[in-house]
Amino acid sequence: MEILITKYLSTRSEAAYNEAYRKFIRTRRASIASDAKKMRVPFEDMQALYEDCWMGAIEDAESGVPILNFNAYIKTAIESRKCNLERDRKRPRRDYRRERLESGMPLDGEKSDESFFEFADEYNLENDVISRIQRKREQLALLSALVENSDVITKKLLQAAREIHHKGGKINAYTLGKAIGVTDKVITLRFKRLQTTFDNLGYGNIRDYLTA
């Protein structure tokens, strides 16, 4: 894989990128399945985690980060992401308690006090909802304008992402590829190109726009 990645970085060839990606996923499939089972998450979610680490390593190398051993670099990134995933699982209850205490809201089983009602009076639900709706509309308009002249696959990808999100599904290369009938490698490459465009224009993470 090291040779294939080096070849891609020197040529920026789509064929070299796809070949390196296929080898990465093929050689990691058993590890993905094992990690998914251990952490009790869907195989697709764990594969998406591996894909993100792979793409992160490629993007770091493209931006000039000196990477002497891609296998070790990606492995370290994967282990870090898995630790974060495990930590996030344990966080909800702690965050729930802290957020309620900080906002003056009672914990379960406790009586409410005046601080909660003062907080509620200051919060304008209608303005908040209107603001969020407006932001989503602006994101959708921007995304539509940027991909207006894109190829059919890219447009289908974006439409499928929004549909999957609104149905409560997971947005990753596997689910998108399955939805529009292309390989996950094609999806990964399209995402990479779109994110590069967004980075160059200073618009942030494209995933924020896909969930609008």
**Confidence band (pLDDT; 50, 70, 90) for 197?**
low
**Measured between alpha carbons, how far is 130 from 111 in angstroms, rounded to an integer?**
32
Asked if pLDDT for residue 206 goes beyond 70, the answer is no
Tokens 């990691």 locate to 28
Instruction: Write the CB contacts of 22 (distance below 8 Å, at least 6 apart in sequence).
Output: 185
Q: What does the domain layout of the chain look like in residue ranges? A: 1-107+115-123, 131-212
**Confidence band (pLDDT; 50, 70, 90) for 123?**
very low
Decide: 66 and 41 in contact? Cβ < 8 Å. no
Continuous segment of H or E residues that includes residue 21: helix 14-39
Stated pTM of the model: 0.47
